[in-house]
Structure 1
């Protein structure tokens, strides 16, 4: 619409700002904003359209950036009081690519402190509520992005994923979140550059929106040694997938994950409603080894790499989740690290026999329905106490360890009437094939009452009780004049 002049970038931005101002107080998805700068860039984008200049893939689209990604001139806190006044002077590569494609940075989206956990609350901005019920959590760590998309506040939002941080909030909020194969989109932020655990990737309301963001961000960059040359345009020209020819496997728990009975029942209902779409749809059993301990060690390594300086300066400067991860890693030995690296390689190999007989593997994305955001994490799943704050993410971190691409598709609702996310796992480095199948599944689901994407009723939103910002210990500045501000203007906090 922007390209054919039926919609002005200025009109779109103003509509997004109006939606943010009306809805964000209920869900607290968008944090720091730069509306004045964005309006100026939208006017420039409009002039480029009127002059008939070549337009980028995201020309004039307002962008929300997860608050783990540095943005020039815009407050970037990582959800931590340590960075309450941190205004970077340059964009990280992911944001730079999106801006070069024409996107207009409009605001940041909320996260857990340092991205640790799948419940997006922190002591700087407070909690993000679920668009379907603000008293419940929106997932994390890309919770603000998922909630902003579900509420149509912004058309483009970024995310990242270690143990499920793209897929889990997408599932809980009823949008699409894709974890690409490592290296598809360069992740400049990770300090362990050769690790496959942490990736950045797209979120969207649809698979096509996720593909658009991938096309604007994929490709080699020296900031990520796992990145490699590829054709980003391939994400815009996906081959049509014939669902009737696909062989699909499914598992409720990967043979090792705790999953609540009502989620198992909802998953069985979804499989029953969709199995006729495929050539085959069979339940499979997996033996993947000690995935939980392997993830414990590899995750802790990453936190030691990223937080040693802060911890050694003042352990109390870190919140409980980042501190627990650091301390777990600091106690580990080289023997444990070497074992975990080798076990991850074995997990990858144990995953492969499935794809000799099947094209896709399906599972639930989360083992529980959204719970109150006042509860830090799902402490009991399937009647079993979880040994740490992230063990309930096992359905997604199992796939992280295997390094296969995975996408969470909205798939109707669960027994509580909340969004149900279907995790679809592709073959090794099969990102394009996975996206093609996901788009075809999305289209088929739209015609089915049990499978179609649910939409929140924004007109019926009510304030959360307690208030979403009630856990904020000290508010960030309401008007921020950062020396690194790209336009020298005011950066306000929403």
Structure 2
């Protein structure tokens, strides 16, 4: 049973705050005629960097900008701001990258167009394997590991024309929604480098928000595409299970919680990158056979009558920093301008059961993946305590423990799926606290309530993860201190395109992605 009520005008108007210290980016509008050439007016590196990824792709294809110019502009942005934000790691040699950009220009002149990412500088999250390029996973144990193969989605990025320039920073083994490690250090928030970037795709999110990359890939087991996107005012999309094949890997049947996905400054850019990353691969038998080409098309949709279910803090179950709920509820008002309705929902579901399900399945999968490293005592002394806790928790589980958790996950999925008989999307905050001090590993309490694990403060993302449904982060705005927050929009399983369409409509109504950070040099 569920009960619902429309959010009151008072509660939706209550939140708010000044974002006066945050500058709006230069807006360059483009109109591309079908089959024709329409210029975007790029006269400086600053204007080039302000282009959306879709517009940048068109500017490269039509010859308005060269791949060498693009590479120089992005590398200069990295030179200027990466010392402050520490988003891009394992950066390749500049001359090598410029030579590869020159080859891309030559290919274009000879009529060989590689794809929409032709000549794009791209850094891969440091959890995904990259052939010939260090993949540390943020761990001292793997700091010198150079894989002999690419992840499947990296193969696709290269085939679409991307030039891999390096990696983006991540916490050790991707554990925790705070990007720091003993290999590369802390990644800092794009809007305030004193604050954390979120994680585990923190480097990716900050690189996009600061203009060091046009778009970025990330991955998400516990909000790692959603939390850093929310903390850096960009878009992050966790797809339905199997839309992007996860591999190649030694285990292809049980790993059903962590997915790779795209991030961008706009929903259109994010969807365009998804069109490259998605698609069936026989090496991953649970991957979807649906065509990814639809994600490269228009996201326009009718929104009159759109229905949004707002779960908030699950009727007080989740601890929330003051201001988070108010800011999100204010942002949800944009759906009303689109002709939609937002209703507050009490699912009357035992959410602690969802959390215990999450703990069991996460322990199980992390222990399975990392036990080989953990087995060596010399490795264990290099692991952070949270990693050891996860692995040892998994080693203590029985097969029946895992089966019971899978049954509980199924029950939660059915309860959430029932909501989609009435609602188009389900909404939640993307985090329970605003970005906090970059040197703090994780919040020990929220609003007077103690956090009993290193990730309890991000419990709000586990309902989306366990559902296997598509989830997008859209910006919710900024509090009175200028700290960003996001909203998760969850859609029915395999309705990824619909979720992106709704996110695009929200983005156009809210205009929140147009608020850009004032960047600081070291």
Do both share a fold (TM > 0.5)? yes
User: What SS does the aligned partner of 2:183 have?
Assistant: coil
- Alpha-carbon deviation of 1:244? 2.0
Decide whether the 8 Å contact of 1:191 with 1:305 is kept in 2. Answer: no
Query: Aligned equivalents of 2:407 and 2:427: distance in 1?
Result: 26
User: What SS does the aligned partner of 2:323 have?
Assistant: helix
- Alpha-carbon deviation of 1:333? 2.0
Name the residue aligned to 1:99.
Answer: 158
- Alpha-carbon deviation of 1:279? 2.9
Determine if the alignment matches structure 1 residue 306 to structure 2 residue 369.
Answer: yes
Name the residue aligned to 1:140.
Answer: 199
RMSD: 1.6
The answer to which of 242-251 and 226-235 deviates more is 242-251
- Alpha-carbon deviation of 1:387? 1.2
Paired residues, number: 457
Query: Aligned equivalents of 2:132 and 2:448: distance in 1?
Result: 47
Query: Aligned equivalents of 1:11 and 1:88: distance in 2?
Result: 30
Decide whether the 8 Å contact of 2:90 with 2:166 is kept in 1. Answer: yes
- Alpha-carbon deviation of 1:71? 1.0
Q: 2:262 aligns with which of 186, 190, 202?
A: 202
Decide whether the 8 Å contact of 1:238 with 1:435 is kept in 2. Answer: no
Structure 2 matches for 1:35-434, cutoff 5 A? 35-188=94-247, 192-194=251-253, 195-238=255-298, 240-255=300-315, 256-289=317-350, 290-314=353-377, 315-434=380-499
- Alpha-carbon deviation of 1:286? 1.7
Decide whether the 8 Å contact of 1:78 with 1:111 is kept in 2. Answer: yes
Query: Aligned equivalents of 1:360 and 1:350: distance in 2?
Result: 14
Q: TM-score, normalised by structure 2?
A: 0.85
- Alpha-carbon deviation of 1:52? 2.3
- Alpha-carbon deviation of 1:225? 2.6
User: What SS does the aligned partner of 1:423 have?
Assistant: strand
Kindly tell me: are residues 274 and 382 of structure 1, through their superposed partners in 2, closer, same or farther at Cα, counting changes over 3 Å?
farther
User: What SS does the aligned partner of 1:138 have?
Assistant: coil
Q: 1:16 aligns with which of 74, 78, 95?
A: 74
Decide whether the 8 Å contact of 1:298 with 1:340 is kept in 2. Answer: yes
Query: Aligned equivalents of 1:275 and 1:51: distance in 2?
Result: 51
Kindly tell me: are residues 302 and 453 of structure 1, through their superposed partners in 2, closer, same or farther at Cα, counting changes over 3 Å?
farther
- Alpha-carbon deviation of 1:401? 0.4
User: What SS does the aligned partner of 1:37 have?
Assistant: helix
User: What SS does the aligned partner of 2:218 have?
Assistant: strand
Decide whether the 8 Å contact of 1:179 with 1:200 is kept in 2. Answer: yes
Determine if the alignment matches structure 1 residue 456 to structure 2 residue 521.
Answer: no
Name the residue aligned to 2:5.
Answer: none
Name the residue aligned to 1:2.
Answer: 60
Decide whether the 8 Å contact of 1:61 with 1:156 is kept in 2. Answer: no
Query: Aligned equivalents of 1:279 and 1:423: distance in 2?
Result: 17
Q: TM-score, normalised by structure 1?
A: 0.89
- Alpha-carbon deviation of 1:274? 4.1
Query: Aligned equivalents of 1:353 and 1:3: distance in 2?
Result: 45
Query: Aligned equivalents of 1:131 and 1:150: distance in 2?
Result: 6
Query: Aligned equivalents of 2:140 and 2:162: distance in 1?
Result: 29
Kindly tell me: are residues 109 and 429 of structure 1, through their superposed partners in 2, closer, same or farther at Cα, counting changes over 3 Å?
same
- Alpha-carbon deviation of 1:189? 5.8
